[in-house]
Chain A
Amino acid sequence: MKNRYLKNGQTFLLALLVLSIGACKKDGFLNVPPKGTLTNQITFSTSSNADLFLNDIYSNLPDINNEDEILDQYTDNDFVGASWMTGQSLVRSGGINQSNVPRGPANEFYWSNAVSGGTGLYDKIRKCNVFLAEVAANKSAYTAAWVTERMAEATFLRAFFYSILYTNYGQVPIVTTPLDNQNGSDIFTPTSTRDQVLTFIEADCDAAAAALPTTTASGDNGRPTKGAAITLKGWVQLFAASPLVNTTNDVTKWATAAATNKQVMDLNVYSLFAPADGTGFQSQFLLENNWNSETIFARGYALPNNGHKREGILGPVIVNGGEQAWGNLAPTQNLVDDYEMDNGKPITDPTSGYDPQHPYVHREQRFYQSILYDGAMWQGDIWESRIGGNNQIDLGSTSDISNTGYNGIKTLDPRINGQVSLNVHSNTSNYIFYRYAEVLLSYAEAQNEAVGPDQSVYTAVNTVRTRSALPNLPTGLSQTDMRTDIRRERRIELAFEDKRWYDIRRWDITTGPNGVLTNPDYGMEITPNDAVPHTTNLTYKKVIIFSNTYKEYQNWLPIPLTAIQSNKNLTQNPGY
């Protein structure tokens, strides 16, 4: 009997011992898969899971088609005086300081959530860094082709976010890994010089371009291509060659920028969107023409939950007797005056045929495709900004109606009712970050600065003009005249596409005697001379609607104060 006891007792004690020792040395048996809680382990366990992480980064591209305050409001293109337009009022009053950094459209200038209280550039950059690091670490779980392509996409996206930092803040810290305060590494990254930031973006673009496909299948629309990577690189190089950065006018920088933009042209993938009806300039922004031959990189939209409300936000206010939209796209007289006559001559040319009392006749085609003016049709209604009109110019900013006497219509779909747009976000047209016309104009600008107005410069600019039925530029232009024409061409062609803010700063034309942000913005006050409805007997008078203030040092945004306070290694931009 006793033996039996002992035998079993010994077995038990031995089992207890083994269990105890086992538990001490190895606690893996306590693992519980965190199924209800998503973690990095699961996210990067398969390529299909990891794709979702990258999808999220795409959703972090600025959603400007749902933005109230587009970037042209920070420039002399668009003026909306409503008090809640904080970004533009900050810029125009010279109020930019380190605790008051304009947020940019769709908050795209935000530094990071910790600094700005919303997803910011460094949050987005971290996502790219996490993706790159985790994919590299889990390579064996994926196919090689997937790794190559997706890492190139993430690299491109990182370069894209850095380009926003570079072209707004200039010198910023370069973070290339997911910062980790627990592994003993230095998490306080010092500011890199502007040249270093540029070099970094160029390298990311090169790496991405080397791996990205030239074109994507339609199921991958929205992912970057080789052309997108080179275009991004050409853009930051153009910025770097421009007077704001290239203060010594080092011509080789222009040449570099020209060469890179030329690479895009030489891909022979892109062409200006030019359907036979001649509306290509305008209709490329319609949803049925998404991913057309001109689009290089864009953000896509989809119903039911990912549509946009651009028409509701930006469209004209009173249409067909009712308040339809918010009217946040109010082109200034300054912009309107830059549209040429249909004979290709600027209105300042005495031979152009411009009549200040009939300012809207015989203007170039892009004027009619971009600007809603007094007496023009919109959605079957005659839009009148004249005194007494249905959208009478709002000189006191007491309503949503235009402060300038104009409303922008380029990029808007005239078939979409403003209220519908606001309610159901019904449009799914792309927001285009880069399109081929910009590449042509960037090439022309850089080439003109590098070697002068050679034939390739003419060809590039005239290609853009021809699509919109304008005559070619006169031959024999000086480099300076060509510069003037290219800058005007760029302003008109890319109006309302959030480009002008970058152009006026890199050209360093914001301040000074002719500074576009130190001179007033104008509107058009139109007074009927008789009581007949819809009379053509009108008096046109340009009126100052706002007197701008701006400081040259504000061409670079200040590093936000909170960022400076939380990282002693940062260097503030001069002037702040």
Chain B
Amino acid sequence: MKKTLLKKVYLIKKPQFYLGSLLLLLMAGFSNAATLNNNYTTSHLAIKKVNADLITVKGTVTDRATGQTIPGATIKVKGIQVTTIADVKGHFSIQAPSDAVLVISFIGYDVVELPVNGKTELNASLSLSNKNLNEVVVVGYGTQKKNAITAAVSTVNTETIAQKPVPNLTNSLIGRASGIIVTQGSGEPGFDAGNIQIRGTGSIGGTRPLTIVDGVPRDFSLLDPNTIATISILKDAAAVAPYGVAGANGVILITTKQGKAGKASLTYDGYVGFQNPTRVPQFVNSYQYALMRNEANANDNPAAAADGTLTPIYTPAQIALFQNHSDPDIYSDGDPIKQIIKPNRLITDHNVTLSGGNDDVKYFASVGYLHQDGYWSTTYLDRYNGTLNLTAKATSTTTVGLNVSSYLQEGHYPGENASSIIDQAMRQAPYAPILYSNGDNSGYIGQSLIGEIYKSGYSVNQNTALYTQLSIDQKLPVPGLSLKGVINYDSGPDALFPGNGTSFDRSWSTPIPFYNATQSGGPTGPVTYTVNNQGNTKPSFTESSSQNHTMTYQGLLNYAHSFGKSDISGVAVVEYKTVNFETFSATRINYNLDIDELSYGGPLATDETNSGSSSGQKQIGYVYRLDYTYDKKYNLEAAGRYDGSYLFAPGHRFGFFPAFSASWRLSEEKFIKDNFTWIDNLKLRGSWGQSGAYPVSGNNIQTYQYLSGYTVNSNSGVIGGSATQGISESLQGNPNITWEKSDKTDIGLEGSLWRGVLGFEADYFLDKRSNMLITPTGLLPGEYGVGLGPVNGGEMTNHGVELTLTSFKQFSSDLRLDIKGTFTFARNKLLQIDESPGTYNNPNTRRTGRPDGTQFGLKALGYFTPADFVDPNAQNPVLKPGIPVPTFGVVRPGDIQYADLNHDGKIDNTDIEPIGHPSTPEIIYGLEPRLTYKNFDLDVLFQGSGNSDLYVNNYFVWPFQSSGSATELAYTDHWTPTHTDALYPRLSGTPTTNNTQESSWWIRNTAYIRMRSFEVGYSLPTKWLGNTVHKLRIYVAGQNVFTWTPSTKEVLDPEEGGNNENYFESRVISIGVNATF
């Protein structure tokens, strides 16, 4: 660089300043220039002209295919604000200038423009629009017509998700578009976000897709569904290329609604719903529990049981007390999990939207409120959403936009977390009441279930977001060229670092008093209640706050123009982003006062602690996309991004991520047009490109890996009689650390037949991921002295197919059916990972070459039978010679027998093999019929999954685990000498190590089919409504209505984990209203 330019180089250090100046320049220069063009009088002139020679035009609007009239069609005079609506017979009459153009439109039909040319009668016939063809799809940094797209992009119909009783938007996407896999792990209010994968597991690092709201990386999960206009899923290289280093896991693009020109429209949408858990396992009652205990005791002491010297744990008298419920405190008969879950918990949502505008200014304003109760009264959530989107034509060539979306979500929880409560509820044996008859809360093994829920203090999480955007779009004097500047300020959840956000949390943790009842002198003796305490003896209080501020600056240059048969369009973008994140947390312990404020904590210096941290991000990207179309048949596109990130070492920060794609519209070829008239559209497309992913391990983007990581130890060497702080090197940095690289190939065929009766889109994709982070071991000498940070060494492939089928049929003007079906299959294969020789050298245990997350364990053969033992009734029975011996302790008849895969005569963890698919499904499908008949509408989503397995464990399947309870299924279906084909092995006092080995015995196929949602609505006839209400619709909707898990006998939700700490997902039935004023 020349010396004379050095001054400018200095400015480069402050790109935000630079982009800001550019925007100012835009506003000051271009808009000013445009104003001087004197175009402001256009509408004024038009109105003058209208008054000159008006004529009345009459006509009828009909369906071109059926010839039936179309009542309610809109007839508008182009250029001026004169509009009318066709009557019930499809007739209209409108006053228009004799040289005007009429614009006739109706929802679902293509818009028709008819020149008046002085005629007083004009009939319009409309064709049903084929959405697939004319739909405009939001893509990276722009929009494209569906038929010109060369990339794999699917969209979600946002109308169908807006009114479903689903608090978190992530859970609305499943089954609605091909290529998207969502797993909801928990139903706890505020912690229910689904885990989204696009096209399956493409990386061993992170698989989170990038989410973009209104063009900016943002989290969308807590936005108000009523404010969402479009959702696009970008899947292949061509689609994600504009997102460069962040695009490899796919991109979800969300846009919020903008006002539409026309009369102001005020709408109210609201519902009230009732939540119940989808599935709660039934645990045993006290009688069953006692019988199982006695049986287990006999099993564990076969010799004593055989000679009659065994003392049962529960005597017949005690068992009778369990049955006759005469002593509710000592011989209780409860069902803790069912007792703590309250039925029909409220969920309600209310939204008011005002939308409208004219050709110059359009506005969309929305306020929403959501309230969701948890399964106990101490858990509930409130959310307030606000949106204001404005667009204004500042000059004839300048459009200014302002978008503001914000929310506050406040979650309230008990002082103990839900996983601990649910665990305790499943653990607590039925004989222990949760409350004593005198109203005191009880304890079970030192923990009090009711105490944890209602007496443990509280925790309040406030999460806020403010997304603001100011954009200025300036047309340039070159035809088709425009320049856009966008400044975004966001405070809220970080799009890249989950957990970073703007939040304020308070948690007050109190000691939990509880009572234990003890009876002396036999079953009728006196009962004494002694008070105990769970947790610390004095309350503690923590406040923590975090602030996440993001500035995103974008400059876009758009171009679109036609030259003869050629259409050329392109976009060039500079995007610069900075993030500042700060946290602060303070804790006081040993409260003597029951006042939950920081300042009232214990008096000692050691009662106070605080901590804080800060971090930042800087990224810059240069994006381009060029499209060339010849003769509407051949599309070529090149797109890409040159991306730089602070995450990598100086000199290693920039990467280039190009993609190329092409499509060929066969249906436009003369041969097909002439011979196959039933083909509306047929397009073959293909793409190839490279995209990137930030280096992720353990679900978090790894920062500063190019530097050696150091750790501060608060208790280090003692110097001069005092402890010191110390610093040690925790990992050696890797200066060459770089992004994950993804090579993506996609071939797709899409089409529409018989005027939309069948639409299809099919894709095959292949994603080869390399540079994934792995931790190298065995490469260094033992004298190296420190571990290495991860290196970019992992490789895997991920391939699959996707299919979307659509069909719509207008049976009559009253009856219309739309069906959408989606199917996704994705399977990955690890090619190179950091695998220890221990697992690699055994073909049975090798991870490499198998899908990520493949589950390994022992291969269960069945149960040992008495014939397998020399003396089955011995206290420590010995297996007959030749039977491989398990190394997990004594086994007896009814214990699980495993295969000796390495034939060494014993069963240990060298005998493991793959026993199950990963827990994330390989197959996801959905079927979405929508039916409208007269004033009724129906919309249903059936959704299912396949090829996923779950490892079940703990109280669900292991009776008395950790002194816990047992399920009713375990009571009815466990091994006994007379019930040898049981689901579960023999009972024992504590589950035996042999039977709780991770084995195929505990693997369940979690394939499921769900009625994920439905909605039935009825729009009240207009004649019933007064003048104020234009439209009123009432509906009933449901979520997770019905679930079928054909392969799992256990009562569990297939999306939840197989253990004991999951907050249940909900089945919700709601009733709602949509009103337009």
Contacts and interface: CB of A to CB of B under 8 A. Distances in A.
Contacts of A57: 717
Interface string A196-239: 00000000000000000000011111110000000000000000
Contacts of B477: 2, 5
B614 interface: yes
B989 to A, nearest CB: 27
B736 A182 contact: yes
| Contact count band on A | 35 or more
B320 interface: no
Nearest to A18: B8
A290 B782 CA distance: 37
A509 B614 CA distance: 61
Interface in B1014-1073: none
Interface stretch (B141-149, B205-213, B783-791, B946-954): B783-791
B518 interface: no
Nearest to B786: A126
Given A32-B616, A36-B615, A563 B782 contact: yes
Interface stretch (A300-308, A450-458, A496-504): A300-308
Interface in B11-50: 11-15, 18, 21-22, 25, 29-30, 33, 36-37
A130 B363 CA distance: 62
A84 interface: no
B592 interface: no
A27 B650 contact: yes
A301 B785 contact: no
A140 interface: no
A221 B25 contact: no
Contacts of A30: 618-620, 644-646, 653
A181 B620 contact: no
Interface string A169-213: 000010100111110000111000000000000000000000000
B779 interface: yes
A61 B717 contact: yes
Contact of A58 (B22, B654, B717, B783): B717
Most buried by A among B11, B25, B780, B788: B780
Given A20-B622, A30-B619, A220-B719, A111 B727 contact: no
A301 B779 CA distance: 38
B744 to A, nearest CB: 25
A16 interface: yes
By secondary structure, the B interface counts as mixed
A53 B727 contact: yes
A43 interface: yes
A576 interface: no
A133 B616 CA distance: 30
Contacts of A39: 704, 707-710, 733
A34 B788 contact: no
A415 interface: no
A36 B703 CA distance: 10
A51 B727 CA distance: 9
A491 to B, nearest CB: 30
Interface stretch (A7-15, A322-330, A438-446): A7-15
A53 B707 CA distance: 16
B719 A55 contact: yes
Contact of A114 (B8, B724, B728, B787): B787
Contacts of B981: none
A301 B477 CA distance: 79
A52 B715 contact: no
B716 A58 contact: yes
A292 B632 CA distance: 95
A567 B783 contact: yes
B613 interface: yes
Contacts of B644: 23, 27, 30
Nearest to B779: A181
A179 B735 CA distance: 15
Contact of B782 (A53, A59, A112, A221): A112
A203 to B, nearest CB: 19
B58 to A, nearest CB: 45
Interface in A18-73: 18-43, 49, 51-53, 55-61
A399 to B, nearest CB: 26
Interface in A284-332: 290, 299-302, 305-306
26 contacts: A2-B477, A20-B574, A20-B622, A27-B651, A29-B15, A37-B709, A39-B708, A49-B727, A52-B716, A55-B719, A112-B785, A122-B783, A126-B786, A130-B729, A187-B780, A187-B784, A189-B781, A219-B720, A221-B720, A222-B717, A222-B719, A301-B718, A305-B723, A306-B723, A563-B782, A567-B781
Interface of B: 1, 5, 8-9, 11-15, 18, 21-22, 25, 29-30, 33, 36-37, 476-477, 483, 555, 574, 613-620, 622, 644-646, 650-651, 653-654, 703-704, 707-713, 715-729, 732-736, 778-788
Q: Which 7 A-B pairs have the closest CB atoms?
A: A58-B717, A126-B785, A56-B726, A22-B12, A563-B782, A567-B781, A300-B718
Given A12-B483, A173-B783, 11 more contacts: A4-B33, A20-B622, A27-B654, A31-B618, A55-B716, A56-B716, A58-B718, A59-B715, A114-B782, A187-B784, A222-B720
Interface of A: 1-2, 4-5, 7-9, 11-12, 15-16, 18-43, 49, 51-53, 55-61, 111-115, 122-127, 129-130, 173, 175, 178-182, 187-189, 217-223, 290, 299-302, 305-306, 428, 560, 562-563, 566-567
